[in-house]
Amino acid sequence: MNKILRKLYQTLVFYGFDAKRLLKALKTERTGWFYKDLEELKRQKGADTTFKLDPRSPILTEKNEEGGEMRGQYFHQDLYVARQIYLAKPQKHLDIGSRTDGFVAHVACFREIELIDIRIIKSAVKNIDYRQADMMEELPGNMINYCDSVSSLHAIEHFGLGRYGDPINYFGYLKAIDNITLILRSGGNFYFSVPIGPQRIEFNAHRVFSVEYLITILSPTFTINSFSYVDDSGNFFENVELLTANVKSDFGCYFGCGIFILTKK
**pLDDT at residue 1 greater than cutoff 80:** no
Contacts of residue 114, Cβ cutoff 8 Å, sequence gap at least 6: 92, 93, 94, 95, 128, 129, 130, 131, 147
pTM of the model: 0.86
- My answer on whether 207 and 90 are in the same domain is yes
- My answer on whether 127 and 205 are in the same domain is yes
Q: Residue 18: enclosing H or E segment and its boundaries?
A: none
- What domain range includes position 202? 73-264
224-260 per-position pLDDT tens digit: 999 999 999 999 999 999 999 999 999 999 999 999 9
- My answer on whether 245 and 223 are in the same domain is yes
- My answer on whether 61 and 142 are in the same domain is no
Q: Which residues of 189-217 are buried (b: 16+ CB within 10 A; e: fewer)?
A: bbbbbbbbbeeeeeeeebbbbbbeebbee
Are the CB atoms for 102 and 121 separated by under 8 Å?
no
pLDDT at 24: 66
Of residues 18 and 140, which shows the higher confidence score?
140
77: nearest Cα among 208, 207, 229: 229
The DSSP annotation for 139-194 comes to: PPGGGTT-EEEEEEES-GGGTTSSTTSPPP-TTHHHHHHHHHHHHEEEEEEEEEEE
pLDDT at 155: 97
- My answer on whether 163 and 224 are in the same domain is yes
Residue 260: strand pairing partners: 192, 227
pLDDT at 8: 76
The overall average pLDDT reported for the chain is: 92
- My answer on whether 2 and 88 are in the same domain is no
- My answer on whether 26 and 136 are in the same domain is no
214: nearest Cα among 231, 227, 201, 230: 227
**pLDDT at residue 172 greater than cutoff 70:** yes
- My answer on whether 12 and 86 are in the same domain is no
Q: Which residues of 70-96 are buried (b: 16+ CB within 10 A; e: fewer)?
A: eeebbbbbbebbbebbeeeeeeebbbb
Of residues 70 and 30, which shows the higher confidence score?
70
Confidence at 60, pLDDT banded by 50, 70, 90? confident
**pLDDT at residue 161 greater than cutoff 60:** yes
Confidence at 58, pLDDT banded by 50, 70, 90? confident
- My answer on whether 159 and 105 are in the same domain is yes
In the chain, how many domains are there? 2
CATH number for the domain including 140? 3.40.50.150
pLDDT at 116: 98
Distance CA 164, CA 6 (A): 23
- Among 46, 65, 84, residue at a domain's last position: 65
- Among 33, 65, 97, residue at a domain's last position: 65
Distance CA 261, CA 184 (A): 13
- My answer on whether 26 and 149 are in the same domain is no
- My answer on whether 112 and 238 are in the same domain is yes
88-119 per-position pLDDT tens digit: 999 999 999 999 999 999 999 999 999 999 99
Which of 28-37, 107-116, 147-156, 198-207 shows the lowest per-residue confidence on average (mean pLDDT)? 28-37
pLDDT at 182: 98
Mean pLDDT, residues 190-209 taken together: 97
Distance CA 246, CA 248 (A): 5
Residue 190: strand pairing partners: 150, 262
- My answer on whether 187 and 219 are in the same domain is yes
- For the chain, the C-alpha Rg in angstroms (whole number) is 22
Mean pLDDT, residues 54-74 taken together: 78
- Among 34, 49, 65, residue at a domain's last position: 65
Asked if the peptide bond before residue 246 counts as cis, ω within 30 degrees of 0, the response is no
* Percentage of the chain exceeding pLDDT 90: 78
